[in-house]
Chains A and B, each alone.
Chain A
């Protein structure tokens, strides 16, 4: 009898799991469809003639008319969208008319550049941001707290364009601690094979340590700058989560029990604050992965931000739609990941699921 019940339980658990998976897939699919529809419509509303981006300003009217038809712009809007959607579903994102390459190739080239920068930046932001936030919370109202707040405020309010140029002027031009704009020096450009698009990884895996050091010296300034921005946000949020935790009764209980203060802060309280922090860090990371067009412009970083801005300004809609899908994918993926981490970090969430 008990066996039967157990099997029934397993079946319903499996069904529940399947149902959840279907629901999740449907949500993801709808999110992407919504993204595509909105981006597609924006692309058609932008007062830019996409034909001009293909043929420039000088072509004859006959060339213009031919390209207009080639781009399918003579068809009704829903038909254009339907054709695009069919292609996307078969894995064809089309060709960029600015770079004359397939969107997949372009994204495979620009996205790793942004991802590398964003990953280093979020590491810097997290490694410095969380301890600073904790420290500020523990020393609430003291000098350290004020310092962290002002430091964070500067990071949050100063224009990144200006900070970037200033950073280059000081650390590259004057102090010469770091290398200049770009991802790598020309002399190292062909010293290794580009396999993943992530230069730090490629150079390290191929044992090209001189090139690796060069890549580090190029990435450290822009990543430090973006990291500073994320750090400002992460430290502010950590501080407020920690203040909340430190006021809880379990902290008082621990103190009464004589648990050392460092343990209360770094183990008990931080562990609980970590749950909402995961979302904060994940969202900061997602924002960085979108690519920062200003940072990329100042640092001549061939990333997603510059690519998308340039494409949008020229109404290169295949590129814009492809890029939007990637960004959508990042947000969906990171949200799922933080949900998973939630259940690892918080036993209550685990039990519910």
Chain B
């Protein structure tokens, strides 16, 4: 009896404490603290950076020759370059470097630095190097192809007369960012162009400098005192590695962080209901799709490919599981790109799908597997698709796996269906046409293995069309070519393109000026105030 009375008293006391007024912590006024899963960073060297987090960090700490307005990507402007001119034969572009600008180290930014950065990226030949080498550059010829023609002019030569916008957009990618030659070469060891040093250090000229990267823990950035543009309001920007969304939300609610970057749809709902917090959205270039392996006897039938596109409940998934984080989108170019197609001809239509399956000689459906990355969102989408497929007799077994595990299988073409997310590598339509609508060689030992190859989709004619679009200088005509490609691909391809991603960040309501751009290297906090 005594025990239970004490227990009751303790419970009452505990509840009284629970309802006590809560005092919120605050982050320092000149410091922006973000929570994100930053374990994807594998390098800080612009010649190697390709991951979301590292791209964003580079976008705020380095500068390229040129940039574009995240709100209207057709507006291209100079950053390190003052102006540029395309040669009449279209085989080269000459850039004039802005005078009087410096790197964070205090070294001046010269034409020599630009040449060094681009040739270095080609010679190091890391993952993103293809963005530059696709213009006919390689380790042997790059010293002749990218040259300083004067103290402040750089000439960029190509093997063909590519569409100028394609070249310019490629140069806005992180691989084209300008590094401080003098500083980097001070750390060169055995002809490595300073790579072993720069992969964990910093030699740029952006609004912030990178002070420290502790893997899976923190990235600390500081205001670059030598930045040539307007000084950022924040003296420090810190990324904390908080992998768990629920933990991010707690920290945000408590005011221990300013921005939470990876909350789930449910957590975002809770944030929307909290007056101290707000949400900022920005459409991203990533698209969610299903890849149907054409090596599979069922999936290779055109009617089955078509039927699968009617067996996804696009609206329900985007309204519930992915609420606010995706828009329904069914073409391979995301909205915001030149020539993007916004038509969405498919919706859940089981009757129509059954008709198509009957026409394919499979009236009772078939059994199939889908390799599914074991993140909550991908799993959620996959389960929803599994249900709607079952309505037409398609028995789909989900094979869960870690990201690298499912990817390994996908790249070896050992899947039936793969549920994937694809983000463009640069802002030009060729980036996605190159992978969804080109497959120069469908052989198992092909040298180029785009998504069309991974799904064994042999498309010599479409490949030719995609190649032609790369050489079209007139933007309007070029856009038409991509729209035509997408319309054809939409109906015939083994890709069930479903959604375009919206990046949603939750932040304290006093945070202003955070810019969410179409690519992660466009996300900017140079103008953030609190």
A residues at B contact (CB < 8 Å): 46-49, 52-63, 66, 96-101, 106, 109-110, 143, 165, 168-170, 172-176, 180-182, 185-187, 297-300, 302, 306-307, 310, 313-315
**In the complex, which residue of chain A has the Cβ closest to the Cβ of B131?**
A58
CA distance A299 to B242 in the complex (A): 8
Residues of A within 8 A of B403 (CB): 313
- Check A100 against B43 for contact (C-beta < 8 Å): yes
Greatest chain A CB density within 10 A among B20, B199, B244, B411 is at B244
- Check A62 against B125 for contact (C-beta < 8 Å): yes
B290 close to A (CB within 8 Å): no
Of the candidates B20, B251, B407, B447, the one whose C-beta lies within 8 Å of that of A62 is B447
**CB within 8 Å of A: which B116-168 residues:** 125-130, 133
B359 close to A (CB within 8 Å): no
Give the interface segment out of B26-34, B105-113, B267-275, B478-486: B26-34
- Check B127 against A58 for contact (C-beta < 8 Å): yes
B425 close to A (CB within 8 Å): yes
- Check A181 against B129 for contact (C-beta < 8 Å): no
- Check B126 against A63 for contact (C-beta < 8 Å): yes
CA distance A349 to B250 in the complex (A): 53
Interface bits B38-69 vs A (CB < 8 Å: 1, else 0): 01001100000011000000000000000000
- Check A168 against B250 for contact (C-beta < 8 Å): yes
CA distance A46 to B409 in the complex (A): 12
**In the complex, which residue of chain B has the Cβ closest to the Cβ of A95?**
B196
B402 close to A (CB within 8 Å): yes
Nearest CB of B to A295, in Å: 11
Give the interface segment out of B209-217, B465-473, B513-521: B209-217
In order of increasing CB-CB distance, the 5 nearest A-B pairs are A99-B215, A59-B127, A302-B217, A49-B408, A48-B404
Task: Indicate whether A47 sits within 8 Å of B247 (C-beta atoms), given known contacts A55-B127, A175-B18.
Answer: no
- Check B50 against A58 for contact (C-beta < 8 Å): yes
- Check A98 against B42 for contact (C-beta < 8 Å): yes
Residues of A within 8 A of B448 (CB): 60-61
Residues of B within 8 A of A314 (CB): 404
Residues of A within 8 A of B27 (CB): 186
- Check B250 against A63 for contact (C-beta < 8 Å): no
A-B contact pairs, 11 of them (CB 8 A): A47-B409, A56-B50, A60-B133, A63-B130, A100-B43, A106-B215, A175-B18, A182-B242, A186-B33, A300-B243, A315-B404
Nearest CB of B to A338, in Å: 32
**In the complex, which residue of chain B has the Cβ closest to the Cβ of A165?**
B246
Nearest CB of A to B454, in Å: 10
**In the complex, which residue of chain A has the Cβ closest to the Cβ of B43?**
A100
Residues of A within 8 A of B402 (CB): 48, 313
- Check A300 against B51 for contact (C-beta < 8 Å): no
Task: Indicate whether A300 sits within 8 Å of B214 (C-beta atoms), given known contacts A48-B404, A56-B127.
Answer: no
- Check B250 against A57 for contact (C-beta < 8 Å): no
- Check A306 against B216 for contact (C-beta < 8 Å): yes
Of the candidates A47, A53, A186, A300, the one whose C-beta lies within 8 Å of that of B242 is A300
B240 close to A (CB within 8 Å): yes
B476 close to A (CB within 8 Å): no
Nearest CB of A to B169, in Å: 16
Of the candidates A58, A168, A186, the one whose C-beta lies within 8 Å of that of B238 is A186
Residues of B within 8 A of A174 (CB): 17-18, 22
Nearest CB of A to B377, in Å: 17
B98 close to A (CB within 8 Å): no
CA distance A96 to B126 in the complex (A): 17
CA distance A60 to B125 in the complex (A): 9
Residues of B within 8 A of A46 (CB): 405
Of the candidates B125, B253, B256, the one whose C-beta lies within 8 Å of that of A63 is B125
Residues of A within 8 A of B256 (CB): 180, 185
- Check B404 against A313 for contact (C-beta < 8 Å): yes
**CB within 8 Å of A: which B235-278 residues:** 238, 240-244, 246-247, 250-251, 253-254, 256
CA distance A189 to B425 in the complex (A): 36
**In the complex, which residue of chain A has the Cβ closest to the Cβ of B431?**
A58
**CB within 8 Å of A: which B209-233 residues:** 214-217
- Check B243 against A100 for contact (C-beta < 8 Å): no
B23 close to A (CB within 8 Å): yes
CA distance A181 to B217 in the complex (A): 12
Of the candidates B129, B243, B247, the one whose C-beta lies within 8 Å of that of A168 is B247
- Check A101 against B200 for contact (C-beta < 8 Å): yes
B449 close to A (CB within 8 Å): yes
Residues of B within 8 A of A48 (CB): 402, 404-405, 408
Residues of B within 8 A of A54 (CB): 42
**In the complex, which residue of chain B has the Cβ closest to the Cβ of A187?**
B28
Interface bits B374-408 vs A (CB < 8 Å: 1, else 0): 00000000000000000000000000011111011
- Check A47 against B408 for contact (C-beta < 8 Å): yes
Nearest CB of B to A227, in Å: 20
Residues of B within 8 A of A101 (CB): 200, 215
- Check B42 against A181 for contact (C-beta < 8 Å): no
**CB within 8 Å of A: which B429-481 residues:** 446-449
Greatest chain A CB density within 10 A among B18, B39, B425 is at B39
Nearest CB of B to A147, in Å: 9
- Check B247 against A49 for contact (C-beta < 8 Å): no
B5 close to A (CB within 8 Å): no
Greatest chain B CB density within 10 A among A60, A307, A313 is at A60
Greatest chain B CB density within 10 A among A46, A54, A175, A182 is at A182
- Check A182 against B240 for contact (C-beta < 8 Å): yes
CA distance A46 to B404 in the complex (A): 11
- Check B42 against A97 for contact (C-beta < 8 Å): yes
**In the complex, which residue of chain A has the Cβ closest to the Cβ of B35?**
A300
- Check A180 against B250 for contact (C-beta < 8 Å): yes
Nearest CB of B to A272, in Å: 32
Of the candidates A99, A143, A181, the one whose C-beta lies within 8 Å of that of B247 is A181
CA distance A57 to B411 in the complex (A): 9
CA distance A183 to B241 in the complex (A): 12
- Check A180 against B254 for contact (C-beta < 8 Å): yes
Residues of B within 8 A of A315 (CB): 404
Residues of B within 8 A of A100 (CB): 42-43, 199-200, 215
CA distance A56 to B40 in the complex (A): 10
- Check B216 against A63 for contact (C-beta < 8 Å): no
Residues of B within 8 A of A99 (CB): 42, 215-216
Task: Indicate whether A181 sits within 8 Å of B215 (C-beta atoms), given known contacts A48-B404, A58-B425, A62-B447.
Answer: no
**CB within 8 Å of A: which B190-211 residues:** 199-200
Residues of B within 8 A of A313 (CB): 402-405
Nearest CB of A to B362, in Å: 30
**In the complex, which residue of chain B has the Cβ closest to the Cβ of A57?**
B407
Nearest CB of B to A317, in Å: 13
Nearest CB of A to B155, in Å: 25
- Check B244 against A297 for contact (C-beta < 8 Å): yes
Task: Indicate whether A310 sits within 8 Å of B127 (C-beta atoms), given known contacts A52-B408, A100-B200, A143-B3.
Answer: no
Residues of B within 8 A of A170 (CB): 18
Residues of A within 8 A of B133 (CB): 60
- Check B251 against A181 for contact (C-beta < 8 Å): yes
CA distance A180 to B214 in the complex (A): 20
Residues of B within 8 A of A165 (CB): 246-247
Nearest CB of A to B173, in Å: 11
Nearest CB of A to B372, in Å: 15
Task: Indicate whether A52 sits within 8 Å of B404 (C-beta atoms), given known contacts A98-B42, A172-B250, A310-B216.
Answer: yes
- Check A298 against B215 for contact (C-beta < 8 Å): no
Residues of A within 8 A of B42 (CB): 53-54, 56, 97-100
